[in-house]
A and B are shown apart, each in its own frame.
Chain A
Amino acid sequence: MTWTQNFTADAFPAGSDAFQHKHLLGISGLQKWEILYILKEAEHWVALNRSGPAKHDDRLSGMTIINAFFENSTRTLLSFEIAGKRLGADVVNMHAAQSSVKKGETLIDTAMTLNAMRADAIVIRHASSGAVQLISSKVDCPVLNAGDGSHEHPTQALLDALTIMRRRGSVEGQTVVICGDVLHSRVARSNLFCLKSLGAEVRVVAPPALMPHAIEAFGAKAFSNFDEALSGADVVMMLRLQNERMQGDFIPSPREYYHLYGLDERRLSLAKTDALVMHPGPMNRGVEIASNVADHIERSAITEQVEMGVAVRMACLDILTRKARAVEGWA
């Protein structure tokens, strides 16, 4: 574990708890010290998760966590489920495909139903930007955003920051390149806000049709040429290109996309010699990333990201339920 960030007490404001939000809806509403606090807490859980077969801490024992996923997910759902269970909570998963959502129930009614079941935390993924915030305004317990439309995916950004911090010593001063479908990517948005807040230089690379308007207003440097953006990069973060966007509407073909924006060994050699390769998954090998780059034993941090995901989510669940558990100092 290599921390160069300074975590003395004066990094946090005096007089209250270190995370004053009821919900975790996005990175854009968080202060730098709040982000750092979650990351610091997550370190503890990384250690626990590596501690052997009995990796349980039952501080959430008796609590009910509902994972309400209105959009399909494998790794995020699994990651939240494992996080909740390692903390001792009763974790229930609700998949939209099996739910009354299919029968026409409105989102608000579904939220009220979940609330009536007295969940102690609800983790939500939804295909519409803002849907998680809408639900959070109608329920009593903390809500964690596991991805809403093209808006935010805060735990992904936190686990990415933790990965960078551990592998590179710090986020501050790092040059991070984010490449792919930035327009539709909640991962890109949350990462941009998080990395800028922690002091990184962020370069975003996308074909013109997939670059959001005014992204530079948020502190990113925009590039359409991947090679140029890679020069001097410490971290290369690739985004998934969704199949439905490859059929001519946004880009001509997967082949052409890979030609311009695929990360292969030649491109990676343009970045710093020890640059880190990251991907939020699931990967499309050969579409946005070459297999030998994705599997590069020293450079790729992709599996480590997944590992950090569980720790970050344990930290978030712990922090957000402290009030309900009457943890001292978190009244």
Chain B
Amino acid sequence: MTAISILNGHALLPGTDKAEAMPLQIQDGKIASFGDSTGKPVQLDATNLLIAPGIIDFGVFKTDKPAFRFGGITRAALMPDQSPVHDDPATVRYAALKGKPDLWVHPLAAATQGLAGLQMAEIALMKEAGAVGVATGRKWIGDSGIMLRIMRYCAALDLPVIVHSEDAALAGNAVATESETATLLGLSSASPITETLAIARDLMLAEESGAHVHFRQVTTARSLDLIREGKARGLKISCGITPGHLFLSNNAIFDFRTFARLSPPLRDESDRLACIAAIADGTIDVIASGHDPRGPEDKRLPFSEAAPGMAGAETLLALTLNLVRDEIITTGRLFELLATNPARILGLNSGQISIGYEADLILIDPYAPWQVDSNRMTALAGNTPFDKLPVQGRVRHMLKGGKIIAA
């Protein structure tokens, strides 16, 4: 395989706050050395660019190559909520191979058959077929007995359990968080403790089982307090969030904007600020896109009938760079959230710029301005609640396993 030399750029090395001027040598798909090249490699000029690990998008609902390429996503953990559901080894194996070599898809196996929350799926066989974790999907598993058995099983198989936290009985048919906005619009709504209650139970079960539990989206102040407390007690837990809940509050659903209908629903401003604080203090481990492209057939409907979810792959990087510009976190910390931590939780040899690691790299112009436009997205659908927002940060080059991926 060709050797590549990335010159004149600033590379973000593990454990550092910001990028340093550093030439990179890539050989056989791996990061081979820092410093000047020997021989005559292909040269990639990275003047004024930031060299960062490729984003590992933890929890997407569609394999959407053009959107991932635009967003600098070199690997994606795919949720089992597919058609058919990824609850058997064959579908998992197919999903794991589908994107290669440009994009590595790491399937998350359905915890229960058909994601119905009733009977365990063939988790061990799916692990052998390439699953890197087990997920409850879009729903919470209400039966605590099943959930405990799944966690114990996964602890023995050394697989993380990725949970959706929303108590189904409390949530009912709610499409929004209890708020002035929901009352004004006459939308059925549920208390934010819908999430907290689910997390409280799963923390107990995590402690009981010893499993690594990853709370895919934690979005309220009280939930984050529980996570903080659990981590302090030494539980093997981690948690994530998407830009929707970091940058929008439930005012965004005003005028029945279905692009802002998410699951869990958007929260009050005080909860949003608590999420930002949890990014700053390290409680939150992962920021993912939650990429869920939905066309007009799912979104151009009355709010309650529209499907939840947003297309987020293209905007993940540009939006989260705001956290650096607002001095909430450093660039180094941002890529821990976007790449290093997801790789660690899922057990992948990627997510950081270290010798011997897969050369999954993105070369970013962090200041390049552009405007989010739901009509002109490369994703399968343009359902973004950030439509028309001016943002900064574009991926100029992407390498997956040392191979340059064309835009």
Contact = CB atoms under 8 A, between A and B. Distances in A.
B304 A128 contact: yes
Nearest to B304: A128
A256 to B, nearest CB: 22
A129 B300 contact: no
B255 interface: yes
A215 B303 contact: no
Nearest to B296: A108
How many chain B residues sit at the interface, stated as a range, is 20 to 34
26 contacts: A28-B184, A106-B301, A107-B301, A107-B302, A108-B301, A126-B302, A128-B303, A128-B304, A128-B305, A129-B186, A129-B187, A129-B303, A129-B304, A130-B256, A130-B304, A131-B302, A134-B301, A148-B186, A148-B302, A149-B186, A151-B186, A189-B184, A213-B178, A213-B179, A213-B180, A218-B180
Shortest Cβ-Cβ A-B pairs, 9 listed: A130-B256, A128-B302, A150-B186, A151-B186, A213-B178, A131-B302, A129-B186, A212-B183, A214-B180
B189 interface: yes
B178 A214 contact: yes
Contacts, number: 68
Contacts of A152: 186
Interface of A: 28, 106-108, 126, 128-131, 133-134, 148-152, 186, 189, 212-215, 217-218
B182 interface: yes
A134 B183 contact: no
B297 A106 contact: yes
A218 B183 contact: yes
B185 interface: yes
Nearest to B255: A133
Contacts of A128: 302-305
Nearest to A215: B183
Contacts of A217: 180, 183
Instruction: Give the interface centre of B178, B180, B302 by most chain A CB atoms within 10 Å.
Output: B302
A133 B301 CA distance: 11
Interface of B: 178-180, 182-189, 255-256, 296-297, 300-305
Contact of A214 (B179, B256, B297, B302): B179
Nearest to B188: A150
Given A106-B297, A107-B302, A108-B300, A129 B178 contact: no
A207 to B, nearest CB: 17
B295 to A, nearest CB: 12
B60 to A, nearest CB: 27
Nearest to A188: B186
Contacts of A212: 183
A218 B189 contact: no
Nearest to B305: A128
Instruction: Give the interface centre of A134, A148, A215 by most chain B CB atoms within 10 Å.
Output: A134
Nearest to A135: B302
B239 to A, nearest CB: 26
A214 B256 CA distance: 19
Contacts of B188: 150
A218 B181 CA distance: 11
Contacts of A148: 186, 302
Given A130-B256, A214-B178, 7 more contacts: A108-B300, A131-B302, A151-B186, A152-B186, A213-B179, A217-B183, A218-B184
Contacts of A214: 178-180, 183
A151 B185 contact: yes
B179 A149 contact: no
Nearest to B189: A213
